[in-house]
Structure formats: structure tokens, C-alpha cells
Structure 1
Amino acid sequence: MSTNPDHLSRRQILRATAFGLAGASLAPIPVFPAEDTFRDDVAINESTALIFPEQAPLRPQGDLKDARAVWCHTPKEPARSVLLYFHGHNGYVTVDAKGRSRVPDWAASDALARAGASGKDAAPLVYGLDTLSPRLKNEPMVLAPEVSTLATGSFWAKEPSGQYDDPARLKLLVEDCRRHLARLPRPDGSHFLPPDFEKEAIERVYLCGHSGAGIPLEEAAGSAMILPGGGVPTDLWLFDCTYWSKVERFVKFCERWHAVDRLAGGRPDASRFVCVYRPKTQTEEVADELRTAIAKSLGVDAGTLVMNHSDEDHAAAIQPAFKKSGVVFVRTKLSHDEIPKFFIPGLIETAGS
């Protein structure tokens, strides 16, 4: 492990703040009267909504509601796939009825958190989840569930552990979101999801997380929905989020799909694992350890799994690797916050769907 004091302080802060919140905002799912189930959902425009599913893993305190918020983007004719995006520290997903960023109610009563949230856009807007349409032929339904809770210290919002420890939680959340969107009218009167889409099986999942979302993402990597033996082919993307050495479920994800000969690029029946990180930063050390562990489980040389990214070789080398490889680690010089917005469209385009 590195002895760089800046590196260690950053890693120690992130680890302590995330695990220190374990269970703080997690609770049994309450039972709502039927008429109350959908009352807070908001149709923002023809493709975007903010919904409040009961199966969200975070629970609101008191009369608050935004811990259950899920920002959604649903094209008129979505592919039978879903992209789930977990944002990182000092982030949130709430928007107002016009689609503008809105300070979440769980942050509104704290001066530091309120100021922090007021000073930045909601994560789905920051990372371009609302602008995927012009770039994609097969656009998935996009869900960005809230993953943060109010915190103190170095960050005003952090992701507690335990949100997706239950292997059933991810599927419960997706199915509940589909129910909400099938009931919610768009401004033109049609519903966000047609009845057939709500009821028929999802054919592919894109599951990704950025920055501090590494902990809930690692938990969700063990979800029954995305593993062979009942789950669907899945793209699992890590965007500069390897701050923690807790990576076992990432390794198991690759092991299990490899065991059934379905860890590959460009195949509709196969899954893919991509880890993007910055060299000589806090995320490189664990990313390298993770790459070594996955290579060992697959019986390959760890060096064959990593590529260096630059603008010059993206189209010529990186995109082709995404199309043919089941595991790709990418070292990039893009800034931390540029990574998700840059890579998500190309990863969808090269998926096996």
C-alpha cells in the first residue's frame, strides 16, 4: 500500500465516512396506503421524471421524502435495458418540476449541506444522463437512485454501506420504478412506460458508479438480478471509484459469468466488466489490486487486461477493446468528473445488446 500521506488521508477519510454511516438511513420498507404510493411522482418533461419508489434502499426521516428519490430518463421507445447510475460524495439526484436542480430535503436543514447542494447541479445533469438520446441508437431507461445521506466532516453527503447487501434489493428497486413509470403520464398524456415494457423482462442491465459510490456499487455487484442462474447479462462499470479495498463482489461477478462462458464483449448473452481510473491517484492502487485478483480468477496475465487511454487512441484502440473484451481496465488522464460523461455513451454503443 502507498505511504503517500495525502493518498492515505484521502483514502482513510473516504473509508471511515462511508462505513461509519452503515445502517444509519436503512430501515424496513414501510407499507403505504394504495392511494399514497404514487402521489409524489413528478413528470418533468416528455422523457424525464422524478419518482419515489417504496423499494428504494434509503429511508426518509420524519416527513421528508427525498431519500427515496430516483431521477429517471425514459425515451418514447426504450430498449429493453436499464442503466442504473450511482453518484458519489457531495451529490444528489433531485430536480424541481421544471427539471432544474433542487436541494434535497435531507440537506435543506443543514447550512453546509444546503450551501454545497445549492452550488452544484444534480448528479444526473452533471454527468449527462439527460443528453444520451442524440448519441445512441438503443437508448436504455435510465435510473439514478439517491445513494447519499447527510453527513458531517469533510463531506456534506456520503454513501452509507448496506444499501444493496440484500441480493434482491436491486431487482425490487427496478421493478418498483417500472411500476411507477407505467402509471405516471407524460405531458402528452401517454405513460412513461407502456404496459408491455413494465411486465416483460429486462434484457440487459448497465450498472455503474462514480467516485464515492464504490461501496454501494460493490454491494450491488452481488445482486441476483445481474448474475447467471436467474439474472440478465450485465455491464458493470467502475468510474474512478476504487477508493476501498472491498472488491470481493466485483471479482465474483467476473468469476461467475466466466464460469458459464459468458464474460465477453459484443455478445447479447454475455456480461462485461470495465474499470476506469486515473494513474498516480488514490484510485490506482486498488484498481491494480482488483485487476490482479480478476486476472488470477480468469487464469490470464493481469497485464493483458489494462489499456492506456488518450484522445488519440480512443476510437482506434479503446472502443474496439470494449467490443471484444469481457474485462477491460482503462487508465485515463481525463479529470475525475469527466470520466462518466465521456465513457457512458461509448460503453452503451459497444455493449452486446
Structure 2
Amino acid sequence: MVVCVAACIVLPLLWRHSMVDLKVYRLGGETLLRNASALYDVRLGGTPLPFTYPPFAAVVMVPFALMPWPVAAVVWTAITLVCLVAVWRLCVQLPPAVMLGVVAASLLLEPVRETLGFGQINLLLCALVLYDVLNRKHPARGIWIGVAAGIKLTPLVFFGLLVVTRQWKALASATAGFAATVLIGFAVTPHAAATYWTSLVSDATRVGGLAFSSNQSWNGFLVRVQGNLDGGGPVWLVLVALTAVAGLCFCRVLWNQGDALAAVSVCGLLGLLCSPVSWSHHWVWCIPLGVVALQRLNGRVKVAVGILWCAVFAVAPIWWPPNHENRELEWTFADQLAGNAYLIAANLVVVLVSYSVKSSRHAVTATCQSV
């Protein structure tokens, strides 16, 4: 029954977005096989969409480029669903039947729906990072964070978590993994790699309009509030710096309390907030962060937060106000509340979680000063 319901949910989503991001991934792999130096010049047929990821990501996508499209779509969807199960299993231990129901229900969450519909890679990266941080037994711990960052730069934020928690061996492994992905990129396509790492890496405009309501980052928020298409500017930089410092201090407090899941989940949120662009499908971190909130809160507060958290990410009010074609720049105050709902909800949850931390102000201050 659960499988049938899940299939009814998933298939229309694949038709809706036609897994366009998977097509872009495959475009990267195909270009490496045909003319590797043109990796960042090609566009997906009939669209303005370029390949925007590091060269190593195109290497990873070569096998999918070699598959017929129907096969690639099915295999990619299967991998994504396996990663969704892995994310849940890494976050919480439940009986198999309950876990199956929870996984199926989480398909209703908009970030998960969009990840499947676009054929995005977010759940794979989330699973790799969670495994690397939470499984302290594998000898090369940290390596998968580096590999994930080599595929898509956003997991670099977890290097900060390794630094503030003084996990030097894992940091060395992560650095080696990331460096290996960069070197592989240069070995496969020196020209495209040089272009990417010297100019394209800082060009946020290649990934879409910053004002778009799907951009649930501080930068997107400031663009919409200020009506400035050039981005948040100095205000954004200050906000990013404050968020990073305060957030990593909080991550260390959580880690020292023995709550690794809370630490990595808050760090994942830092990446979403501080990145110039965090599309709604990047917010699959709502799953571990939601689990953390339910684990650390009590009583009626836990119930209320759990219901509201699931509702926000299932109903997705970010799509209620006018959007596309920069109509976000004309939002009213009510539009801003709905259109920035992910950002607002996540920050409120972190504030609530902070109240559950049984550390004195002195302990928190001492922790931050020692970072």
C-alpha cells in the first residue's frame, strides 16, 4: 500500500519537471566524452541552462550519459530514493514498517518532491555527509565530505564543522578527498577546470535569478526585501559572517554535548543560509533538522513544532506570493512572510533548540573564544 502511494506521488513529479537537472548533469558527462574543453560553453538543448558544477561532477555523470535516457532516469530515481531511506536511517532508528511509512510520507515534503522532480543530487550529498559525520568507525572518515564538495561546492561548509570540533584526522581526509576531485578535473579537462576555478566558481548568476522565491538563502531574502537584483551586498556579507561564526560556535556546543546529529544539521542549515543561492530543493536538510527539533524539544512544544515544521515544508508557502520574472521584488509584508517561510521556520527552530542546550552563557562564551 505504501509503495503504491509513493509511486502515485513520485511519477507525476517526474513528469512535471521532466528531471531537467539530471539532463544537465548528463550534458556534462556527454560533453566530457565529445569535447571536454567546451564543458562550460554548452547549453541544454532548447534551454539556456549551462553545466554549473565542478569538472569532477561531470566525471561522475559519465556513466549516466552513456545510459539511454529512460534507463538513466529510472536508475537515478532509484538511487535518490535509496538515499532518502539512508538519510532517515542515519537520523533515527525505527521499526522497518514505521520507517517505510515515514519515508513514504516524506515524499510529500517540497524539497524532496522537487529533488525527485528535477532529478537533483541533494539527497545523495546529504546522505554522504551524514554518513561521514555520524559514523565514527570507518577509517577514512571525512573522505565523503571532500568528495561531496568536489561534486557540488556547498558541502565545503562541513569543513568548518570539522575545524571547530577539532576533528583533525577527518579534516585531513576531507581535504585530501576534495583535492583529489580537483586534480581529477584538471586531468580530464585542464582548460575547463582552469576556467571554472578561476572565474566561474564565484559567478552566482549562472545558476538563476537571485530574487526567485525558490532561493531561500540570506542573499535571496535580502534581494527580495531590498529590491536589489545585484544581491545583498555588504549587508549580506556581514550577515553571512555573523551567521557563520555564531552557527559554528553553536555546532561545537552541540557536538561537545554528544549530539552529533544536531551539530551536523545546524551546520547544514548554515550552508543553506550563507550560500548565495539555496534553491528550495537544497532544503532536504529539513529532514535531519526536523528530527533534531523533535528529539530536543518536549511536551506540547514538540508536538506543535513537529506539526508546523512538516506543514511548512509540505505545503510550501514560498510559492504562494507572485513569483518568476522578478515579481518577488514587489512583495508586500505578508508576501515576505510566506515567501521566506523556510528561512523563517528554520531560524525559529534553531532558537528553540538553543533553549534545550544545557550550557551556561559562560560555557558557550568560553567555547566560542577557544575556536
Structure-1-length-normalised TM-score? 0.29
Greater Rg by CA: 2
Larger relative strand fraction: 1
Larger relative helix fraction: 2
